[in-house]
Amino acid sequence: MIRKVALYAIFALLALSCLDEPDCYNLNNNVIGIAFRKIADNKADTVAIIGITVNGSDSLFHETKLATGVELPVNVLDDEVEFVFQLAGLDGPITRTLRTSYKSRIQFVSEDCGERFIISDLRLEDHDFDSVRLVNDQPGREVTPNYGIYRCPITNRMKISFRQLGTVDSVGAAMDVFLDGISSDFSALVLYPDDTASSFLLPLNPASTSVTYNFDFKEGEADLVVDYRTVNTTRYSVCGSQTFFTDLFASSAVFDKVRVVRDSIRDPAVTNVLIQRCPDTNFIKIDFVNQAGEAGRRKVVALNGITTDYSAEVFYEDESVSSVILPLNDQADATRFTFDLESGPVDLEIAYTRTAVTLHKVCERFAISGLSIVSSGFATTPEVREDETEFPVNKTNIAIIIPD
Amino acid sequence: MFCAGLTVSAQEKKKRDSVTVRDFIPKAIRVGGDVVALVRSQYEDSYSGWEMNAEVDIHRYILAFETGNWQLDLNSEDGLYANKGTYFRIGADVNFIPRNPQGNILFLGARYGRSIFSESLTTMVSDPVWGDQEVQYNTDDANGRWFEVTGGLRVRLWKIVWLGYTARYKFGLATNGTDTMEPHDVPGYGTNDSEKDSTWGFSYLVMIRLPLR
């Protein structure tokens, strides 16, 4: 009995061991992981990479990407590699290098898999980053960080954000602006040329206590003046003495409203200055519906264009729409719109009451209410559904009935 | 009569317990060879080797000495691998059926193994970044050591002819002289999978038992 059990046990183990054939996938461990981190809080740092090259190869790795870490190969037939990082800085590309040595050993795996290379004993030889730490000297088959690249805090980068205020919304929604560029009074560099975004990082001048930025928009220019206080101190020994900026104060004669929401610089940058645009209170929303009343469904109408009696501008030219948003004349108590339909032009005159208001303390506007139809060329008189305007425009003010 | 009966009973009891008397004078020596190695040499083109075994029975213990030699010649798609080496193992087993009437043995034991070997590998390294390159690596006079937990059977087949097998769980491989090349196969140990740190082995033995007293 004992003999039988022993025999079966041994042969079962042998059978199991035969099943354990090597896996040919991803045999080498010649890829090392690099994590970008911030010295200040040891948290991941997002780096704008233009590209990374390695000596002995013309390959470009991680071209144009934002990353908190990268994976880079080492030459299995060599014992040292130098990585050259091209990074995007606010003032232009930055080049940094990291040189590491390692031990490379070959091992024959099997007739099916061939050989593999085992990389070990990573050692940091040289670098010109702020700080680099060897975290793990043994690359794995699944890439984990071997090096941590730490950077000193960026102390001079202010963030501004553009916002569109609402009638009642005092913070506003992010608003894209279209730029030819942003220049400052202390640098010849033009930042963000031909760019469109709702927020921008701008450098402060450590040699002064004030900077004037010029925003060159597609539709005009505007200046923003930022005043501040500087303090020189050493917070991290590897970073040396750094200039920190506090007590930010922003002003502009052109922008509707400028608010400092955080008066010191953070890294990563958080919005310091909000540039807010006042709401347009004279917009109404007109829907095209197939019948009067709540049962009416919106229908698409082909337009050659819509014109007003106070402007030469043509709205919705050659468009098919079921709803339009149009500006009332806030300098008059009535506006006449001409809808150039496929069947011919049709007029609609709307009267309203204007009341002067100051929104968000700085926005001198007219609150528009009491919308009414003065005259209409449509077969059925349009319905007034909401007789007050609001911004942003969400509710339907007028419904034009065009039967199917 | 009663007292005589007691005396006989005491004598029988003493006789039954006689196995507990420790007798450390070697009883016999078994020598033989590993059939697995011979069969593999015959039928596997890539393998050539032999293994000899010697065992000494002392009480319920078995002193074991094993020595052998093997070489491999393997071909992958782009490479040629070869190794060659000599090894020995020493150790001891414990027989768990010492009172078996036929003297058969069921044992567990341990071994310490050492190997002296060489390896060579010629291959084409294909790298998408640094290009293709043919390389040759050689390891001469490398050595390794390891440990084994063993278990198996020895069965008397006919007169002095014995059969048996030994299953081996091998672990703790350490090598020297392998700076540029991680061993693929260490003679006596087997395939070196650095991610498992252990392997299995099996010997099927034909032996001759020579009584020593």
pLDDT digits (tens, 9 = 90+) for B124-158: 998 889 889 999 999 999 999 999 999 999 999 98
3-state SS class at A247: strand
What per-residue string of b and e applies to B55-68 under the rule 16 or more CB within 10 Å gives b? bbbbbbbbbbebeb
pLDDT-derived band at B16, boundaries 50, 70, 90 = low
Residue appearing with tokens 């001759």: B208
Contacts of A170 (CB under 8 A, 6+ apart): A360
Confidence of residue A21 (pLDDT cuts 50, 70, 90): low
Tell me if B15 is assigned to some domain. no
* Residues spanned by the domain of B103: 23-73+85-116+143-211
Lowest-confidence region among A18-27, A68-77, A233-242 = A18-27
Domain ranges for chain A, please list them.
Answer: 2-151, 157-277, 283-401
Q: Convert the pLDDT of each residue in A101-121 to its tens digit.
A: 999 999 999 998 899 999 999
Portion of chain B with pLDDT greater than 90, in percent? 72
A vs B: CB pairs below 8 A? 89
The stretch A6-19 carries a mean pLDDT of 49
**What is the DSSP pairing of strand B47-58 with strand B28-34?**
antiparallel
What pLDDT was estimated at residue A255?
Answer: 94
Are the C-beta atoms of A74 and A102 separated by less than 8 Å?
yes
Q: What is the pLDDT of residues A321-341, one digit of tens each?
A: 999 999 999 999 999 999 999
**Which residue, B92, B86, B54, B96, is CA-closest to B189?**
B86
Region A125-151 average pLDDT: 92
CB-based contact B98:B60 (threshold 8 Å): yes
DSSP A16: H
DSSP secondary structure letter of residue A74: -
Least confident of A40-54, A146-160, B18-32, B109-123: B18-32
A13 touches B: beta carbon within 8 Å: yes
Strand B28-34 and strand A173-174: the pairing is: unpaired
Contact with chain A for residue B20, Cβ under 8 A: no
B153 touches chain A (CB under 8 A): yes
Give the domain CATH number at B55.
2.40.160
The Cα–Cα gap between A190 and A178 comes to: 15
- The mean pLDDT value for B66-82 works out to 94
pLDDT of residue B10: 45
- Mean pLDDT, rounded, for A395-399: 94
How many structural domains compose chain B? 1
- Cβ neighbours of B184 in A, within 8 Å: 107-109
Tell me the residue type at A283: F
Res. B58: pLDDT tops 50: yes
Q: What is the pLDDT of residue A11?
A: 54
**Greatest extent of chain A over all pairs of C-alpha atoms, in Å:** 109
Assess B184–A contact: CB distance below 8 Å, yes or no: yes
- Band (B19; pLDDT cuts 50, 70, 90): low
Q: What is the pLDDT of residue A214?
A: 96
* pLDDT of B3: 37
With respect to residue B7, please indicate whether it lies within any of the assigned structural domains.
no
Would B135 be classed as within a structural domain?
no
| Cβ contact, residue pair B77, A114, below 8 Å | yes
Count other C-beta atoms under 10 Å from residue A182's C-beta. Answer: 20
Say whether A111 and B106 touch across the interface (CB within 8 A): no
ipTM over 0.90: no
- Check residue B21 and give its pLDDT: 60
**pLDDT tens by residue, A367-394:** 999 999 999 999 999 999 999 999 889 8
- A112 near B CB under 8 A: yes
Stretch among A68-82, A140-154, A206-220 having the lowest mean pLDDT:
A140-154
Contact A107 B133 (CB under 8 A): no
